[in-house]
Structure 1
Amino acid sequence: MPEYDRIQCPAFKSKIMSADAAAALIPEGCNVGMSGFTGSGAPKEVPMALARRIEAQLAQGHHFKIGMWTGASTGPEIDGALAKVNGINMRLPYQSDPTSRERINQGDINYIDMHLSHVAQYVWFGFFGKLNVALIEVAGILPDGRLIPSTSVGNNKTWLDQADLVILEVNERQPLGLAGMHDVYYGTQLPPHRVPIPLVHPHDRIGEPYLRCDPAKVIAVVPTHKADRNSPFKPADADSEQIAGHLIDFFKSEVRHGRLPKSLLPLQSGVGNIANAVLAGLNNGPFENLTAFTEVMQDGMLAMLRSGKMVGASATGFSLSPEGEQDFVDNIDFYRDKIVLRPQEMSNHPELIRRLGVIAMNAMIEADIYGNVNSTHVMGSSIMNGIGGSGDFARNAYLSIFMAKSSARGGDISCIVPAVSHVDHTEHDVQILVTERGLADLRGLAPKQRARLIIDNCSAPEYRPMLQEYFERALHHSRGKHTPMLLDEALSWHARFERTGSMKVREAVAA
């Protein structure tokens, strides 16, 4: 047998096997907790082997499905492969794979879209049933059996604690320099025995650098050598840069008015082009000694750490481009004392978000004229990805910001509508809306005041007259005057899109 330097504990060496052999140990119909958060730190060989096993059984007329629980989204080796063979019965708590999304919207997969901070507690209380298997990628196993976490922590601590059986993928592609970057807190307690979490600064370390695992539960150890799923970095377009510019101007104003310090407050940022454009704007802006308390580390935050604009960042995983990953690996000694990776029950914990006064910046699909936000569903019923951690942050942040371009599909969809087709974040949790057209600061405003500001500042020019006309009619004809709404028209824009392919009112063509 070849030497595996990453597997130093004798109790684990005797359990080394192939991915196919490990996949054969996963019981049919069981619930599997898999590592991974936005593609980082996910198992990469055993899920593919499990998909092959399911496909072979399907060819014999036997349907084999599992319940699949993760930290957040994963990669094509997991969601894509298992969804393709229709091998997932229940999926939670977040996904972004096209094949998985299609299966969910076709009704083939039951999907629980939930706040990421709630997952661990729900598992402890058994709301999803029993966790049978934990399938976790690690960077190495120490002589005493402790595990060096990989490029994400996610729900791994809970999976290892709660699962009956454990399968470990030891990925030699992950740098051993990750050791010491993690902070795994084992002090969480269930209600009614909660105690304060002793974290008062984003860079505080309150736990342990390694994961614990009972060797008696480990049934397989699979050596691997495969990179995380990384997405190429796309340069910001003009609209994204305008959104970033509006936000930078807003932050400058908040500093001038004494509502933010010159170092701002800990930043949380969603993923995507707009988020990276905002981070790039901050990197070139006037603010110094920035910090982050977020879910994922993107290229933009690595650039801020390199430039010295950001002095430290807390997250639960990475979401890097291939170039960003290479920079991280090449300079891991520089990043090790500047980045802390925590379990997502800590990175997304409402108590900590509120205590630290986080500035939360997240993407949306649409917002309505009163400030309600839909961040998950297209046309009300088709899931896009999921709520992820945006709700954890929006409800508890010092500043709750949602961003989007004012229109989509070449202008056929307005992202500012009379009423959102699905509500993830109510008007009570949304303080700032930003599009490339402008920024609406909704703090201290009543519903009718918010409506006028959102229409004037955030809507696309081609839809602004339609929104103004709807709002004026709602003011005069709705029964209630607090939040005026025409019930038979509020969702007519979405219905028109599904009927004609555009939210625009097209002139009737004479017969």
Structure 2
Amino acid sequence: MSSSGSRSSVTPHAPSASAASPSPEASAAPAASAASSEVFSLLARMEVGELTPEQHAEVARRCRLPDWQSRQMSASKAAELIHDGMTVGMSGFTRAGEAKALPLALVEKARREPFSITLMTGASLGNDLDGQMADAHMLARRMPFQVDPVLRRAINAGEVMFMDQHLSETVELLRNHQLSDMNVAVIEASAITADGGIVPTTSVGNSASYAILADKVIIELNLESPAALEGLHDIYIPQMRPSRQPIPVVAPDSRIGTPYIPMDPARIAAIVLTRGSDSPSTCTPPDDGTQRMAGHLVELLKQEVALGRLTPALLPLQAGIGSMANAVMSGLKEGPFEHLTMYSEVLQDSTFDLLDAGKLDFASGSSITVTEERGRTLWKDLERYRDRLILRPQELSNHPGIVRRLGVIAVNTALEFDIYGNVNSTHVCGTRMMNGIGGSGDFARNAQLSVFITKSLAKGGDISSVVPFASHVDHTEHDVDILVTEHGLADLRGLAPRERAVQVIENCSDPSYRPALRAYFEEACQRGGHTPHCLEQALSWHREVEVKGHMRAMRTAAEPSPSLAGAAPSLPDATA
């Protein structure tokens, strides 16, 4: 395989560039339907010369590359460029902006001629593509994040080797040849510039670095993507070490790169035409539990403002993917905060709720992932948000140095946490992968305020999300400032382990499991230690789940005991 130095005439850069104007036509991205799927599949199967005059004109408006017709081919023909054992990078981040035709063509190919690849993406793919590829047994390795139930089963069965990575690190490892060199990149585009630049669609993710580092690039030109996306992106690639300069992002609205992925046109091996929509987010509306969590967080932030630690504009916000973080972030509409900004990885419904409410001035992310309801208006009206949005590569949206510089307030979701503040984001009962760590680690360690939220109960109350000992630790107690459930908030800043345990048990655990947690902690304290534990009992709660499928026995394992709250340090008085 060739070295990365020989793959592109484009070098990492630092100069600023203003956003390009979008092409004249207006387009909206409607929800996926049987009709649009049929058009999408027919278009992707077209070979050069098969376009109607109307289709040719439509493509020419999007693709300004003079010789695009010589590169246009069907998805099936483009799939023949990918062979057994290759490392392939695909666009896609939080089910947004993924290549939609090539994966299906590869699935068809794998069912005819078995082969397997290493697949790298930005994060999760939509349209059930991960599951279809896993079902076709074409994935030998997968990184760095996924959310598909079929792929998840294959990972937990040991059929697919899954590398769970911090999202900011994947391209750094690739760039420095610590991962297999990339053979082919498959990138969804909204447009292609006259000099070969790729205008991404609804996500950037790792697409820029994949395109620059791969031997060959296949572009899926999605004619259904909104034309208003052009000019929204800010593509900047850090220089190679040891000559790397500081990344000059000093505010969420800093523009430091180009509005497209710079590309040597000679490396564009194929252009596949598609029409297709992203999968809508499956986020559910706020419920009583998430509204209570939002209320606890708003009260904390109000107190931080009263103490002079924050202004009413707070600091740039980050919210992890999912219903809970999205709902809690939407709850900030009810707080006394103004001129908020966001420096996040994914922009969800809550981002646009806050923009519409006049609470949020600007949002920077790496993708836009919204529900079907929000998408019905957003994609038609994207133009009115353009001046308040930026989409960046994920190595910048999640960059530890930028997160630390900006002082981000990070809100992410936990599967479970223990009484000392260690957080498990990824593994059920310590062994079975759920989705992955995603960007939560990038933000947790480097944020000014690192918040983890979860409901105190799972599986209808059969499982406590607050446990004596986390069965898997993604975020240690050293990286966690605040824990929130529907019952309350534990502020762990400046506390020793024994003090932390009191806060977590009394403020965050469900009352039905609280006596057992108190009993465990009291017995552990009698044995001594800086972080007291009863090792023979520490994972007994998870063992109950493995054997019985629930923790219900822990509800009656201890007699009701007096509150530990008297031993808990109180939050600082805002009037002090």
TM-score, with normalisation over the residues of structure 1?
A: 0.96
User: Secondary structure of 1:454's partner?
Assistant: helix
Residue 173 of structure 1 aligns with which residue? 224
**Cα offset for 1:191?**
3.0
**Maintained 8 Å contact 2:223/2:273:** yes
Q: Percent identity?
A: 50
**1:338 paired residue among 384, 388, 393:** 388
CA contact (8 A) 2:421 2:476 kept: yes
Correspondence for 2:549 among 485, 501, 507: 501
1:38 aligned residue (60, 72, 94): 94
Please state if 1:254 is matched with 2:304.
yes
Q: 2:108 aligns with which of 52, 59, 63?
A: 52
Q: Which residue of 1 aligns with 2:66?
A: 10
Per-residue deviation, 1:381: 0.5
- Match for residue 162 of structure 1 among 213, 219, 242: 213
The residue number in structure 1 matching 2:273 is: 223
Q: Which amino acid aligns with 1:30?
A: M
Query: Taking structure 2 as the reference length, what is the TM-score of the superposition?
Result: 0.85
RMSD: 1.3
* Ranges of 4+ aligned residues in structure 1 off by more than 3 Å: none
Alpha-carbon contact 2:92-2:121 (below 8 Å) kept: yes
Q: Which position in structure 2 is the counterpart of 1:182?
A: 233
The amino acid across from 1:502 in the alignment is H
State the one-letter code of the partner of 1:492.
S
Q: Secondary structure at the match of 1:79?
A: helix
Residue correspondence of structure 1 range 399-414 to structure 2 within 5 A: 399-414=449-464
Task: Give the superposition deviation at 1:11.
Answer: 3.1
Cα distance in structure 2, aligned partners of 1:88 and 1:76: 17
**Matched residue of 1:475: which SS?**
helix
Match of 1:491 among 539, 562, 567: 539
Distance 2:313 2:136 in 1: 49
CA distance in 1, matches of 2:498, 2:378: 48
Alpha-carbon distance, 1:487 to partner: 1.0
CA distance in 1, matches of 2:287, 2:443: 26
Q: 1:16 touches 1:222 (CA, 8 Å); kept in 2?
A: yes
Q: How many Å apart are 1:411 and its aligned residue? A: 1.0
Paired letter, 2:377: D
Give the Cα–Cα distance (whole angstroms) in 1 for the partners of residues 166 and 142 of structure 2: 14
Report if aligned partners of 2:123, 2:205 keep a CA contact under 8 Å in 1.
yes
User: Once the two structures are superposed, what CA deviation does each residue of 1:431-456 show, in whole Å capped at 9, x if it has no partner?
Assistant: 00000010000001000000011000
Q: 1:144: Cα distance to partner?
A: 2.1
2:89 alignment partner, SS class: strand
User: Which range moved further: 377-386 or 269-278?
Assistant: 269-278
* 1:416 counterpart = 2:466: yes
1:130-279 maps to which residues of 2 (within 5 A)?
130-186=181-237, 188-279=238-329
Q: 2: CA distance between counterparts of 1:283 and 1:38?
A: 24
Rounded Cα–Cα distance in structure 2 between residues aligned with 1:285 and 1:338: 21
The code of the aligned residue for 1:46 comes to: L
Contact 1:48 1:77 in 2 (8 A): no
Name the CA distance, whole Å, in 2 between partners of 1:43 and 1:9.
Answer: 20
1:28 aligns with 2:84: yes
Task: Report what 2:16 is aligned to.
Answer: none
AA of the residue aligned to 1:90: R
The alpha-carbon deviation at position 496 of structure 1 amounts to: 1.3
Alignment correspondent of 2:504:
454
The Cα shift of 1:233 comes to 4.5
Q: Deviation of residue 299 (structure 1)?
A: 0.9
Q: Which moved more, 1:485-494 or 1:193-202?
A: 193-202
Deviations 1:161-202 (A, max 9, x none): 11001110000110111111110013x123332321111111
Verify: 1:19 aligned to 2:75, yes or no: yes
Q: Which blocks of at least 5 consecutive residues in structure 1 are unaligned?
A: 58-62
User: Match for residue 380 of structure 1?
Assistant: 430
Paired residues, what number?
500
AA aligned opposite 2:429 = M
The answer to whether residue 501 in structure 2 is matched with residue 445 in structure 1 is no
- Partner deviation per Cα, 1:464-508 (whole Å, 9 max, x = no partner): 00000000000112xx52000111111111001111222132779
Gap regions ≥5 residues in structure 2: 1-48, 558-576
User: Residue type of the partner of 1:406?
Assistant: S
Deviations 1:75-108, CA, capped at 9 Å, x for gaps: 1452111011111001000000111101000000
